[in-house]
Amino acid sequence: MNEEARRNRFYYKLFDRLDAFGCPICRIVIEDSRSYLDSVLYERITDVPTRLSLRESFGLCNLHTWQLRDLPGSSAPDLGFAIIAKDLLNRFQRMAGKFAADQRRTLAKWFVRTRSRLRAALKRTRCPACVHAARSESVHLQQLLTLLGDRDFARKFQDSSGICLPHFLQAEETHLHHAHFELLRTLEICNAHRLHDTLERFLEKHDHRAHEDVTPAEARSWMDAMDFLSGKRALFDSELHRPSPKRLAKLLRR
């Protein structure tokens, strides 16, 4: 594929998704994840390397496991996941039994140590759908920054809701010195300001003294703010099992 064809492929993929509200990177990553899962179940579920990869990662993460339910019936998600689950249950029974057979430690030490060792033995690699999604996310975020140098694309992006804050922060971490990052920063601040003003009008019109009706844009502004501040639903990891920022800072200081 030549450079012009590659540019056009990314250009229109991103350009077309600026018509809908919400982060185009989130939308593309979700679409690419579904396409990957559909491919695995429909075409590669009996492929030996794919099966081995899923065993090494101990299946899919929570997000991508539950996304299987939304795949079309033509992909046979029920049969596909049944095959994956059967492999994983076999692996768990074998590994858990192996660790349980070691009785040389006290019960308390056995629980603490086996928990981490068993997890490491079961899950040796990342969820393959997450690896695919991360690659898609990185490529499209870089391409978006590059395309901001195109006048038509930049104008369309300026009129859109832009990207979500998590993806902007990711761009700052990985592409801070990109030629168009400062333009992205300016546009992101403008989008935040515009959304802030819409939320303010929404709140003001809920005052008992207000006489103006809430507009459709104002009525959905709280959901738009969710999208902007957190990204698309279920795309980013939960913080349920992450260490707190204070604890993480302490660990890094050691």
pLDDT at 142: 95
Q: Is residue 165 part of a domain?
A: no
Q: Is residue 215 part of a domain?
A: no
Both tokens assigned to 35: 């396409």
Q: Is residue 243 part of a domain?
A: no
Q: CA 156, CA 135: separation in Å to the nearest integer? A: 25
- Cβ atoms of 117 and 99 within 8 Å: the answer is yes
The pTM for the full model equals 0.82
pLDDT tens-digit series, residues 179-207: 999 999 999 999 999 999 999 999 999 88
If one counts the domains in the chain, the total is: 1
Domain of 32?
Answer: 3-129
Q: Is residue 123 part of a domain?
A: yes
pLDDT tens-digit series, residues 67-78: 998 898 888 889
Q: Is residue 154 part of a domain?
A: no
Q: Is residue 201 part of a domain?
A: no
C-beta atoms surrounding 240 within 10 Å: 6
Determine the average pLDDT of the residues in 141-158.
94
Model confidence at 61: pLDDT above 50: yes
pLDDT at 192: 95
Determine the average pLDDT of the residues in 58-69.
91
Both tokens assigned to 194: 């515009």
Q: How confident is the model at residue 236 (pLDDT cuts 50, 70, 90)?
A: confident
Both tokens assigned to 132: 């695919």
Q: Is residue 203 part of a domain?
A: no
Please, what is the Cα angle at 151 between 146 and 157, to 5 degrees? Answer: 70
Model confidence at 172: pLDDT above 50: yes
Model confidence at 110: pLDDT above 70: no
Q: Is residue 180 part of a domain?
A: no
pLDDT at 23: 95
Q: How confident is the model at residue 253 (pLDDT cuts 50, 70, 90)?
A: low
pLDDT at 10: 86
